[in-house]
Amino acid sequence: MSELTRIAAPDGVAHAAQYSHVVLGTGRFVAVSGQLALDEDGTLVGEGDAAAQARQVFENLRRCLSAAGAGFDDVVKLTFFVTDMAHMSAIRAARAEHIPDDRLPAASAVQVASLVRPEFLMEIEAFAVVAP
Which residues face 35 on adjacent strands?
A: 124
Burial grade of 57 (CB within 10 A; 0-12, 13-18, 19 or more): buried
pLDDT at 1: 55
Tens of pLDDT, residues 69-85:
999 999 999 999 999 99
- pLDDT tens digit string along 21-45? 999 888 999 999 999 999 999 999 9
Query: Are 70 and 130 within 8 A, CB to CB?
Result: yes
Q: Are the C-beta atoms of 4 and 106 separated by less than 8 Å?
A: no
DSSP structural state of residue 119: T
* DSSP letters spanning 18-83: SS-SEEEE-SEEEEEEEE-SB-TTS-BSSTT-HHHHHHHHHHHHHHHHHHTT--GGGEEEEEEEES
Residues in the chain: 132
Radius of gyration of the CA atoms of the chain, in A: 15
Give residue 103's pLDDT: 92
